[in-house]
Structure 1
Amino acid sequence: MVNLAQSRSHTLLSEAFAEAGSRPYHYRILAALEQAGPLSQAEAGRLSGIDRSDVTVALEALDQAGFTERQPHPSDGRKKLVRLTASGRRELARLDTVLEDVQTRFLAPLNASERQQFFTLVRKIADEGAPE
């Protein structure tokens, strides 16, 4: 059952982000940068849970769109930090509304009480696998 719910969620997210001209990976990286500030490419991948090769492709697209930019690392000249731009913050806010709409559609079969119970149970499962 978990796999069926995940598949439904993934389909809704992929379709909604495609319709919005974006991808879930883009959202995850933008959100990671908003949360943590400038990060190395590897750190952005770890924080967003995206494979290294996928991060490279996604960051190239985000850089070209003007949503992110690279700057020299202050303590290691060989590295670059990825930074969210003002345009990237606006894009993240726009994609937040896409995500909210997907969540509303995904949870539509549940009443308010069931939604609250669902969130409680998902948090419990997520916390079990969270690093300490």
Structure 2
Amino acid sequence: MSAPLPEIRGLPSWLLGRAAARGRALVTEALAAEGLKMWHHVVLSAVFDLGPVAQAELGRGIGLDPKDLVGVLNDLQAGGWVVRAPDPKDRRKNAVSITEEGGRLLKRCERAARTANDALMAPLAAAEREQFMELLIRISGTDG
């Protein structure tokens, strides 16, 4: 007996969704080994890139609801990976910075995420991986 839903399973959107779910699962598992969830990694990476950064600007930059951002930042601060202090540009706001330990954790998470993505792309040859990434960038409407 053949698999159900042959029409749906042949749609690029279906296949991309399945590949994305597999990639998310691999990265989620890799980050869990470091004690983090996906949003923790995203926020930690953004703070590293932008910090010190106003909390509101951080949320807008990564597209995370302010209430959800507060929870993630609370977790990261409790772990000693970020600090919040009054923003020197506007003391009514908080600025978020990464700590040294947060930087070390981020490096470990980046390695773990790369390893997980290598596992995702393992069925492809190097040239196919490069082409696949170029195609994904084109159809996603982003510049990478």
1:116 matched to 2:116? The reply is: no
Residue aligning to 2:51: 37
Q: 1:129 to 1:101 in 2, by over 3 A?
A: closer
Partner AA of 1:122 in structure 2: L
Q: By how many angstroms is 1:6 displaced? A: 1.1
Question: Out of 3, 15, 22, which is 1:8 matched to?
Answer: 22
Cα distance in 1 between the residues matched to 2:89 and 2:118: 44
TM-score, normalised to structure 2, is 0.82
TM-score, normalised to structure 1, is 0.89
Point out where structure 1 has 5 or more consecutive residues left out of the alignment.
none
Q: By how many angstroms is 1:125 displaced? A: 2.9
Identity of aligned residues (%): 35
Rg: which structure is higher? Answer: 2
Cα distance in 2 between the residues matched to 1:90 and 1:104: 21
Point out where structure 2 has 5 or more consecutive residues left out of the alignment.
1-14
Deviations 1:86-122 (A, max 9, x none): 1111111111111111111110111111101111112
Deviations 1:44-102 (A, max 9, x none): 22222323222111100110111100111123221110111111111111111111111
Residue aligning to 2:9: none
1:25 matched to 2:39? The reply is: yes
Cα distance in 2 between the residues matched to 1:14 and 1:116: 23
